Structure 1
Amino acid sequence: MAKDAPAQPPRTITSADVARLAGVSRATVSFVLNDTQAHRVSESTRARVLTAANQLGYVPHAAARSLRAGRSNLVLMPSSVSAIGRLVSDWVDDLHSELDRRGYTVVLHAGRFPDAVTAARAWAELRPAAVFALSEDSFTPEAADLLQRAGIRGLLAFAARPLAGAHTIAFDHADIGAAAAEHLVARGRRRIAVLMPQERGLSAFSEPRLAGARRIAASSTATVTAVEVSYTQDSVAQLAERWPELGLDAVFAYNDEYAALLMHAFQNAGISVPEDVAVVGADDLVLASLQRPPLTSIRLNLPGPGVIAETLQQLIEHGTAEPVDPVDVTLIHRASS
């Protein structure tokens, strides 16, 4: 019995097919599907092209369009998935919507690179319209220069200090750790733990938070101990079991998600919050006020996604943009401390 011949892949639909069905030129198809404002196309012709494209299932080739334009419509955000907590993930989702209304697509890029220049080279190959970094370790002057030479003008980053070659929004994570430690010291705590998550990508945020807490402790009689932990029940359960031998009376738990996990582990281990240990989180998520006891947290006053989207658009189109207000922090005191 003869074997069936292998199925042939369906033929790729091209703009020439759309043009043929719509009875127009390929240039007209390009003008319509790329929404080229410099070329006027009648509404009836536009409707014929869109109908033909939908009927044939035609999708424009993004790489070809990028080649013609010199860049894509992508806004690239370097980020490890583990680094996107609930607060930032919701904020990024709103940013997606704001940029989508402006014709841009956000892409999270979680590649692993040995240095910033190697990372920038990989990003430049995609010819994004902009690169928006959540942490300053994504940009060095050399990396920014490489991206600019590739024609990428929209370079935006949260950073503790101005970054050469990039539009910078002031955001010092040390302020978060400092606010937590200052509160705990004021509440009479002197042996403070700072959780250091071991998930990839979080050290860029956790290390300056630790430094901020240590800065406050250095001006008091308090001590700060870095405690490594992973975002798993087993990891926090093991930490709770050995907590009494650590001799610590307070913990800044990196963020609300780690804090909630740790508080449940403390409860299971018979450790009382705040009697035995005061707990402070960060991000001021809804779950903070729902904990028992309610969780003290650091609220991050981030710029609105609309402000970021407008700033990116200005950088892409003009190479410059108005300054964005710095990110500041506010401690929300609840019963856990």
Structure 2
Amino acid sequence: MTRSSRRITSEDVARAAGVSRTTVSFVLNDRPGQSIPMETRQRVLEAARNLGYRPHASARTLAAGRSDLVLLAIPDTRLGPATSRFVEELAAALAEHGLTLITHLAGAPLPDVCATVNASAVVGLSPFDAETADALRRAGAEVVLPLPDPRGGVDEAMEQVGRLQAGHLIDRGHRRLGYAMPVHRGLRAMADARLAGVTAACATGGIDPPVVAELGLAVADASRAVTRWRAAEVTAVCAYNDETAIAVLAGAHDQGLAVPADLAVIGVDDIPTAKLVTPALSTIRFDVHEAGRRRAEAVVAALAGQEPVSSPDIGGPSVVPRDST
């Protein structure tokens, strides 16, 4: 028998099971308070399975009162190893609660995408500004996380990352720090927050603010940045992330410098190649499993009507000291 290429509907399931479409809806959506015999339930489920029936998203939305879609907004940037791992962990954690994660990388404005896919929740890697959060709610999102900071300050979780980087270097005796800023504009908000943390740690340690140099992932860019830092008597560099830090290592090598004797370097993310470069890269590690679980739990709680908590939930950042510092 050749199966039709058209979409299987609940009417097809009802016909195959010999029941009404209402009964099919009650069974497949597991509606409470319905006295449907177990034999009938099994017949409906078997018919749906044999036909390969998949409920349409709009039908599920009508049945549940909301969609099961969670939209993750990723900034206009490259999807690196750390972000990829977080997406995987968040998707798995949400799936345990019957929710499906979809991602938005670039293209149409986020509120338009939210309205198009009818997302019940929108999650960001960092807090949304108040204007964006309001637009997402008007587009139909019941939940928007992380919440905007009412004080309008920097992302405290990302600031803490910079504090850890600088604190590690200051503890190693460095008194003049540099900061490797990425050139990609889409990374600037997060990079600025981490830089704010480095600057705050320098103030606490009684030393001058870091010398900021912008660089890409080319050796020539990194070499020029290293030259600038050396001229400013910088002895250690906090890099935006591990990829940027590895570029700094390449720039130091190009300048004939020894790491960490002439220039210490620390990154962020603990990507797989961090421990494979020479010297092995000191970095900041996140527990992405914990971060995904906590973010998923916040979404589920908020969808259940509980007050969402705006708190750093990036998974307990910690210093991983290696040979580069």
- Tell me, yes or no, if structure 1 residue 249 matches structure 2 residue 235: yes
TM-score by length of 1: 0.77
- The alpha-carbon deviation at position 148 of structure 1 amounts to 4.2
Match of 2:190 in 1: 205
Instruction: Tell me, in whole angstroms, the C-alpha distance in 1 between the residues paired with 2:113 and 2:271.
Output: 34
- Higher strand proportion (structure 1 or 2): 1
Unaligned runs of 5+ in 1: 1-8, 165-169
Pair 52,213 (structure 1): closer, same or farther in 2 beyond 3 Å: same
* Distance change >3 Å, CA 336–CA 119, structure 1 → 2: same
Higher mean C-alpha displacement, 272-281 vs 77-86: 77-86
Which residue in the other structure is 2:100 paired with? 105
**Could you tell me whether the CA contact under 8 Å between 1:153 and 1:319 is conserved in 2?**
no
CA–CA separation in structure 2 for the residues paired with 1:325 and 1:208: 13
SS at match of 2:95: helix
Q: CA deviation at 1:225?
A: 2.7
Q: Does 1:333 align with 2:321?
A: yes
1:154 paired residue number: 143
The 8 Å contact of residues 29 and 63 in structure 2, kept in 1 or not, is answered as no
1:316 has 2:303 as partner:
yes
Aligned to 2:118: 127
Distance across 2 between alignment mates of 1:82 and 1:325: 22
Q: Deviations over 1:13-32 (max 9, x none)?
A: 32212211121111222223
Q: The residue matched to 2:102 in structure 1 has which SS?
A: strand
Read off the aligned partner of 1:131 and give its amino acid letter.
Answer: V
Whether contact under 8 Å (1:79, 1:201) holds in the other structure is no
Say which SS state the counterpart of residue 240 (structure 2) adopts.
coil
- 1:330 maps to amino acid: S
In structure 1, the residue matched to 2:24 is: 29
Please report the RMSD computed on the Cα atoms of aligned residues, expressed in angstroms: 3.3
Q: Which amino acid aligns with 2:190?
A: F
SS at match of 2:89: helix
Q: Which residues of structure 2 form unaligned runs of 5+?
A: none
- In the alignment, the residues of structure 2 paired with residue 60 and residue 102 of structure 1 have an alpha-carbon distance, to the nearest angstrom, of 18
Distance 1:279 1:270 in 2: 15
Count of residues in correspondence between the two structures:
313
2:161 is matched with which residue? 176
In structure 2, relative to structure 1, the CA distance for the partners of 1:33 and 1:296 (3 Å cut) is same
The separation in 2 between residues aligned to 1:89 and 1:287, in whole angstroms, is: 15
Residues 1:20 and 2:15 are matched in the alignment: yes
CA deviation map 1:22-43 (0-9, x unaligned): 2111122222333334435444
TM-score computed with the length of structure 2 as normaliser: 0.80
CA pair 225-158 structure 1, distance change in 2 beyond 3 A: farther
- Could you tell me how far apart the structure 1 residues matched to 2:226 and 2:64 are? 62
- What amino acid is the match of 1:44? E
CA shift, 1:99, in A, is 1.2
Percent identity reads: 37
Equivalent-residue separation in structure 2 for 1:44 and 1:265 (angstroms): 71
Partner amino acid for 1:275? A
SS at match of 2:278: coil
Tell me the CA shift for residue 213 of structure 1: 2.0
